[in-house]
């Protein structure tokens, strides 16, 4: 199938699903529970006109972005540092596995308790989520270093520091970039979950507020906005990742590997 046909089919399926939802809502089930696309669209349109959507988006975006930057910097720093020593890595292994096992979303109520209902708790949730994912990926990436390549670099004259910057980091870069990439939507989800629990604005707050007001069109609108934001972010990140890792063989191109 060519690109045009593929996109045509996609559009057709999307329209069919929306049509099905619209058609079933009313005759088959009560729109009270699941709303219907036309109501969701109307709600969205109104929120755009009133400026509420932009204001909610910017609140959630702010928390996500600040938290992400902090979490990513700390995750990188700790991941790179802890992976340096065999002994340290061996001693800390069970602790790291234990922390990795914590369902991170479950920390949200406690974060509200610690950091209040304002921006700080959302930033901290996003930061914690990002930190975990970036830290583990960086750590694993450095741990799986290619020993042969390190020997080669040493023979070619690399000092300890150069070895770190010219071999360790580029060698771990697919893992590091994967960590930085998967943590962006996760940071967003973390901020939204913190907003569910206690907040005064943002996408999570809006979803919570409309649900308690039994306004399912509003809830669905919030979910749709989240979905679109995550899809757009993923699409952008996909491109960035491909560009940064263009030295890696594509999966369809393995004949020489």
Partner 1 sequence: MALSNLSLDIHEGEFVTVVGPSGCGKSTLLNIIVGLLEVSSGEKRFRGEILRGINKEIGYVTQQDNLFPWRTVLGNVMFGLEMRAIGTSAERREKARALLDHVGLNGFHHHYRHELSGGMRQRVNIARTLVYDPKVILLDEPFGPLDAQTRLQLQDTLLKLWQERAGITIVFITHDLIEAIALADRVIVMTARPGRIREIVPVSLPRPRDIYTIHTDPAFRAIYDKVWAYLAEEMKHKSE
232 and 164 Cβ atoms separated by less than 8 Å: no
User: 37-50 vs 216-244: helix axis angle to the nearest 10?
Assistant: 80
Element (H, E) at 68: helix 52-82
Which of 76, 229 has the CB closer to partner 1? Answer: 76
Q: Does 151 bind partner 1 (CB under 8 A)?
A: yes
Question: Residues 215 to 254: which contact partner 1 by CB under 8 A?
Answer: 246-249, 253
Which of 6, 156 has the CB closer to partner 1? Answer: 156
232 and 165 Cβ atoms separated by less than 8 Å: no
Q: Does 213 bind partner 1 (CB under 8 A)?
A: no
User: Minimum distance between the CB of residue 77 and partner 1, rounded to whole angstroms?
Assistant: 22
Q: Which of the 8 DSSP states describes residue 213? A: T
Q: Does 149 bind partner 1 (CB under 8 A)?
A: yes
Q: What is the C-alpha separation between 25 and 230, in angstroms, rounded?
A: 27
The first and second tokens of residue 96, run together, are 């790291």
Q: Does 256 bind partner 1 (CB under 8 A)?
A: yes
User: Minimum distance between the CB of residue 180 and partner 1, rounded to whole angstroms?
Assistant: 16
Task: Compute the half-sphere exposure of residue 9: CA atoms within 13 Å on the CB side of its CA.
Answer: 5
128 and 71 Cβ atoms separated by less than 8 Å: yes
Q: What is the C-alpha separation between 240 and 252, in angstroms, rounded?
A: 20
Which of 2, 252 has the CB closer to partner 1? Answer: 252
> Near partner 1 by CB under 8 A, which window of 51-59, 75-83, 152-160, 192-200?
152-160
Closest alpha carbon to 173 in 99, 231, 113, 243 = 243
Q: Does 142 bind partner 1 (CB under 8 A)?
A: no
The site string for partner 1 over 159-198 (x = CB under 8 A, - otherwise) reads x--x---xx--xx-x-------------------------
Would you tell me which residues interact with partner 1 (CB under 8 A)?
Answer: 148-149, 151-159, 162, 166-167, 170-171, 173, 246-249, 253, 256-257
């Amino acid at each position: 199938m060519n690109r045009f046909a593929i996109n045509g089919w996609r559009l057709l399926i999307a329209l069919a699903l929306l049509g099905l939802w619209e058609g079933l809502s009313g005759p088959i089930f009560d729109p009270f529970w699941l709303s219907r696309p036309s109501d969701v669209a109307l709600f969205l349109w109104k929120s755009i006109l009133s400026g509420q959507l932009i204001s909610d988006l910017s609140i959630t975006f702010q928390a996500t972005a600040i938290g992400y930057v902090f979490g990513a910097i700390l995750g990188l720093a700790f991941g790179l540092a802890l992976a340096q020593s065999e002994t340290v890595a061996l001693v800390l292994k069970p602790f790291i596995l234990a922390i990795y096992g914590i369902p991170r979303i479950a920390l949200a109520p406690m974060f509200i308790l610690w950091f209040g209902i304002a921006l700080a708790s959302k930033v901290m949730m996003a930061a914690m989520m990002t930190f975990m994912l970036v830290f583990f990926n960086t750590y694993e990436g450095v741990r799986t270093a290619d020993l042969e390549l390190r020997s080669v670099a040493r023979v070619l004259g690399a000092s300890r520091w150069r070895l770190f910057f010219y071999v360790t980091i580029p060698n771990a870069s697919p893992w590091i970039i994967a960590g930085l990439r998967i943590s962006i939507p996760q940071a967003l989800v973390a901020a939204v979950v913190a907003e569910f629990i206690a907040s005064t604005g943002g996408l999570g707050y809006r979803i919570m507020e409309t649900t308690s007001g039994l306004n399912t069109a509003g809830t669905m609108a919030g979910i749709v906005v989240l979905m679109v934001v995550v899809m757009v972010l993923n699409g952008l990140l996909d491109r960035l990742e491909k560009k940064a890792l263009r030295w890696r063989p594509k999966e369809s191109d393995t004949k020489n590997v």
